[in-house]
Amino acid sequence: MTVSTITLNDQTTIPQLGFGVFQVPPEETAKTVTTALEVGYRHIDTAQMYQNEQGVGEAIAASGIARDELYVTTKLNNGFHRPDDARRSFEESLSKLGLDRVDLFLIHWPLPTLYDGDFVSTWRTLAEFVADGRATSIGVSNFQPAHLDRIIEETGVVPAVNQIEVHPYFTNEAARAASIRHGVEVEAWSPIAQGKVLDDEVIGKIAAAHGKTPSQVTLRWHLERGDIVFPKSMREERMRENFDIFDFTLSVDEVAAISALDEGEDGRIGPNPDVFDYVPS
């Protein structure tokens, strides 16, 4: 099965479907990612704060899959926004992953209430990693419209992606629209709302009409809208289910019906990026 790809604003391509390892225990990560690679996933999304980059690297090393066939994303820990800390932690990520470059490196959260509100110098530091060839692309995660506007205006460097919470109950239209306006692709985390959409009546009816599951229909909804998704599961059958979304399409009306489930801020599951200030101890 061929996974669709999206061309980023730096003219590189990214698989539209990937595999996420958020909340996969470090000791289970190598086994879980190995299974995902066997299923067919070639895009792996991890982060420094997940504490499982090493397991991802072990699975990649053992897979025998050519490096150019894999797309690897990791993200900057909230405690390492100062430029020298970002440089050091990025080097550590490469070491843990066993790679000499990552395909995509992101600022995980803007943290506008910390570091004297300075996430611009952090963004400039990430640009260094592209310049020296250790990151093919760079981007941001959880950036609100004002955050995006600021880094682009002050640096002239446009992120390749903005990884934000998006699902049928929280379509996050303001952040999506700002990203699209700047030519930034949207990556959707929590794409099935941590399972909350799986019992939805509207989605269930659409799934029945296509002979698919609610999860497959929701992920297909994301693809139809242009989102990049990386659902996470530690069960092989669910990995295979989530991968099997390229043999059907949704109608314009079906996409609209799912989009209409949006509850605005009431549907948000994760923290609001304007006030989120968690830094791991």
- As annotated, the active-site residues are 50
* E strand or H helix that includes residue 63: helix 53-63
* CB-side neighbour CA atoms (13 Å) of 157: 19
C-alpha to C-alpha distance for 194 and 145, rounded to whole angstroms: 24
Burial 227-258 (b: 16+ CB within 10 A, else e): bbbbbbbbeeeebebbbbbeeeebeeebbebb
Strand-pair category, 13-15 with 5-7 = antiparallel
| One-letter amino acid for residue 137 of the chain | S
Q: Measuring CA to CA, which residue among 30, 77, 72 is closest to residue 50? A: 77
Do 94 and 101 form a contact (C-beta atoms < 8 A)? yes
Do 60 and 98 form a contact (C-beta atoms < 8 A)? yes
Q: Measuring CA to CA, which residue among 67, 63, 31, 26 is closest to residue 46? A: 26
Cα distances from 101 to residues 13, 71, 92, 270, in angstroms, run 16, 10, 12, 30
